[in-house]
Each structure stands twice: as structure tokens, then as C-alpha cells.
């Protein structure tokens, strides 16, 4: 009958070939859920956790111009960008979200989160879950790590601070798995004009081959470190799952 892994690989290759003919991506065969956690340096402060209202999969080449713009602005190297563009990568865009904190009342809204100047955020963590489209099975956690530390995006903000463009600012984490789309705004204070950078969209980069790589646990299991009310109810979850 042959090796099961070999059969699975052949089946995926056939599916990819069919999708290429239809000008679709493998990601179009999945439903996604994404959560975004802003983790604060003060461990006594609750993480700001948001659920993305809609995850939009897009093939990398659709945003090639935005990636290469980052090269021209010296945000990252041409070599690393070409390597990224040559991979069979899917982009997962998150433009809208809703707070998951029970003490915060709100509805789904466009992303509007101040990232700079502020020094209280430790990192941004994105949690991705998926299932085959049309399936009644629960969403499963995708086996990939999406984190963007404050020090990494602050360096890029300082780099673009002297530039005049107000929109179209894109920054990425070192391994190029998380891209932040940023708006620059100016606030007039009594003494001077202050520049702020606000998050308006998040994009995750995931090689298509990893779309079928899942890890164990439920959505609740993986959200519990960022929601104290869940963590109290499931205080043993951290012993079994490491994000």
C-alpha cells in the first residue's frame, strides 16, 4: 500500500496542482479563527485579548509590492524578502476584532490600538486555529508560533519616525511570520506635536505546507494564559500546553 506519509504527500501535491489550475490556494480549503493578545510587562495586568472577526487568506504575490516597499525603505533586507516571496506562503489578514475581556463591553471594530509611544507592552501574540472548510469538527491549533516583541517593532518605528509617509507603514518580526500594518497620527499637546503609531491590521505569514500541521488542545486551552477567568477554571492547563 505504500508509506502513509508518502500517500499523504502525494494527495496534497495533487490537491495543490488542482488549486493552481483554479488560481486558488490551499488556504481556501480551510476556515480560520485567530486571536490577538497584547501581553503587558506588568504580570499583574490582564492581557488585552481580542478575537478576530474574520480571517482573510491571501496569496503572497498579491501583496508583493507592499513587501518590496519595506525593502526600499530599508525596513528589512532584499535577500530575506525574496526568500519569503519564493516560498509557497499564504497570508492571513486580520483587519477587525472584538475584545475578549468580560469587563470590557464593545462590538466588532476596525483595529485601532496604540503601539507607540508606550513601554508597557512586552509582546504581541497571535493564536491561529483552523479546520477543513465545511467540517463540523472543532477548530484545532495550528502548529506555528506568532510573536512580535516590543523591542523588535520599536526599533522599526524609530527608523520610520523621520519619514513623511502617514500610511503604508509595515513592520515585521525577525522571522517574518507577523506583519503589522501601521497608521501614523499626530496629536497636538500643549507643548508640542506628538507622533503616535496605531495598529490598523495584522497579517500572519504561514507556509502552505504547515496548514495541515496541528497541535493538541482546544481554543480554550490555548487562550487560558491570556484570560485569568479561564485560567482559574483550568489552572492545570499550563502544565499540559505550552504556547
Measure the CA–CA gap between 74 and 68, rounded to whole angstroms.
10
Give the per-residue pLDDT at 97: 87
Q: Which of 59, 54, 74, 75 is closest to 202 using CA atoms?
A: 54
Q: What is the pLDDT of residues 185-223, one digit of tens each?
A: 877 777 778 888 999 899 999 987 788 899 999 999 999
Measure the CA–CA gap between 149 and 144, rounded to whole angstroms.
16
Segment holding 21, helix H or strand E: helix 4-21
The cell for 209 is 505546507
CA distances from 188 to 162, 185, 196 (A): 18, 10, 11
More confident: 58 or 54: 54
What is the CB-side half-sphere exposure of residue 124 using CA atoms within 13 A? 27
Helix locations, 73-149, DSSP H: 78-86
pLDDT band at 17; cut points 50, 70, 90: low
Give the per-residue pLDDT at 138: 94
Rounded (5°) CA angle 90-96-101: 115
Q: Is the pLDDT at 85 greater than 80, yes or no?
A: no
More confident: 120 or 70: 120
Beta-carbon contacts of 141 under 8 Å, excluding residues fewer than 6 positions away, are 127, 128, 129, 214, 215, 216, 217, 219, 222
Q: Is the pLDDT at 62 greater than 50, yes or no?
A: no
Q: Is the pLDDT at 94 greater than 80, yes or no?
A: yes
Give the per-residue pLDDT at 113: 87
Give the per-residue pLDDT at 190: 73
Most confident range, picked from 41-55, 98-112, 164-178? 41-55
Give the per-residue pLDDT at 243: 44
Q: Is the pLDDT at 21 greater than 60, yes or no?
A: no
More confident: 62 or 226: 226
- The percent of residues above 90 in pLDDT, for the chain, comes to 34
Q: What is the pLDDT of residues 100-143, one digit of tens each?
A: 655 555 556 777 788 988 899 999 999 999 999 888 999 999 99
Helix locations, 91-236, DSSP H: 150-160, 219-223, 228-233
The cell for 75 is 525596513
Q: Which of 70, 136, 124, 117 is closest to 94 using CA atoms?
A: 124
The cell for 168 is 503604508
First to last CA, the chain: 37
> How much is the mean pLDDT over the chain?
78
Q: Is the pLDDT at 233 greater than 80, yes or no?
A: no
More confident: 23 or 223: 223
pLDDT band at 66; cut points 50, 70, 90: low
Measure the CA–CA gap between 100 and 50, rounded to whole angstroms.
5
Is there a contact between 166 and 184 (Cβ–Cβ < 8 Å)?
yes
Amino acid at each position: 500500500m505504500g508509506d502513509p506519509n508518502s500517500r499523504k504527500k502525494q494527495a496534497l501535491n495533487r490537491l495543490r496542482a488542482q488549486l493552481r489550475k483554479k488560481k486558488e490556494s490551499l488556504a481556501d480549503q480551510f476556515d480560520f479563527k485567530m486571536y490577538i493578545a497584547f501581553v503587558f510587562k506588568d504580570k499583574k495586568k490582564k492581557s488585552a485579548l481580542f478575537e478576530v472577526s474574520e480571517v482573510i487568506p491571501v496569496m503572497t504575490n498579491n501583496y508583493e509590492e507592499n513587501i518590496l516597499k519595506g525593502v526600499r525603505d530599508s525596513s528589512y533586507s532584499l535577500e530575506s524578502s525574496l526568500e519569503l516571496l519564493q516560498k509557497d506562503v499564504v497570508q492571513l489578514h486580520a483587519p477587525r476584532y472584538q475584545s475578549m475581556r468580560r469587563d470590557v463591553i464593545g462590538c466588532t471594530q476596525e483595529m485601532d490600538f496604540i503601539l507607540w509611544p508606550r513601554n508597557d507592552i512586552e509582546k504581541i501574540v497571535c493564536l491561529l486555529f483552523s479546520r477543513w472548510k465545511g467540517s463540523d469538527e472543532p477548530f484545532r491549533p495550528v502548529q506555528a508560533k506568532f510573536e512580535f516583541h516590543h523591542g523588535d517593532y520599536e526599533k522599526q518605528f524609530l527608523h520610520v519616525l523621520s519619514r513623511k509617509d502617514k500610511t503604508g507603514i509595515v513592520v515585521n518580526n525577525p522571522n517574518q511570520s507577523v506583519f503589522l500594518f501601521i497608521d501614523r497620527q499626530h496629536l497636538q499637546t500643549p507643548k508640542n506635536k506628538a507622533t503616535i503609531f496605531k495598529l490598523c491590521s495584522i497579517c500572519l505569514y504561514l507556509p502552505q505546507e504547515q496548514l495541515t500541521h496541528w497541535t493538541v488542545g482546544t481554543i480554550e486551552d490555548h487562550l487560558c494564559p491570556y484570560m485569568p477567568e479561564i485560567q482559574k477554571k483550568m489552572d492545570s492547563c499550563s502544565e499540559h500546553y505550552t504556547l
